[in-house]
Amino acid sequence: MPKMKIKKGDQVIVISGDDKGKTGEVIKAMPKVSKVVVSGVNMVKRHTKPSKTSAGGIITKEAAIHVSNVAIVSNGKPSKVGYKEDKGNKVRVARKTGEVIDK
């Protein structure tokens, strides 16, 4: 299983597919299947039955997108993620700008 360099809470941009160019925050990361759910991207409609907790109807929500189709946003542009040693800690950095991603 390859390591995913994009985590929950990261600001990403879609680099391929129908939603190319859209940006959003990663809501959920699924490393076992190499997918992420990004807010406002890859919207799908689900027909749901009514239940005790919710009314039925057509619900629009985000679906998962493959991690290779998104990139971290650094200064408004897509960037790959690298790792660097910073004061004895391993931190993620944007390769395009060298900016530290982890706070």
User: How many other C-beta atoms lie within 10 A of the C-beta of residue 13?
Assistant: 21
Q: Global pTM?
A: 0.85
Q: Count of CB atoms within 10 A of residue 72's CB? A: 24
Q: Tell me, what's the pLDDT at 76?
A: 87
Annotated domain spans of the chain: 11-76
Position 81 scores a pLDDT of: 93
The model's pLDDT over 55-97, given as tens digits with 9 standing for 90+, comes to 999 999 999 999 999 999 998 899 999 999 988 899 999 999 8
**Model confidence over 18-32: pLDDT tens digits?**
999 999 999 999 999
Class of domain 11-76 as given by CATH: mainly beta
Q: Specify the higher pLDDT residue, 81 or 102.
A: 81
Exposed, middle or buried, 14 (CB in 10 Å: 0-12/13-18/19+)? buried
**Mean pLDDT for the chain?**
92
pLDDT of residue 1: 66
Q: Evaluate if residue 2 carries a pLDDT over 80.
A: no
Coil vs helix vs strand at 77: strand
Q: Is the dihedral of CA 36, 20, 17, 101 positive or negative?
A: negative
- What are the pLDDT digits (tens) for 45-54? 999 999 999 8
Joined together, the tokens standing for residue 31 give: 């490393």
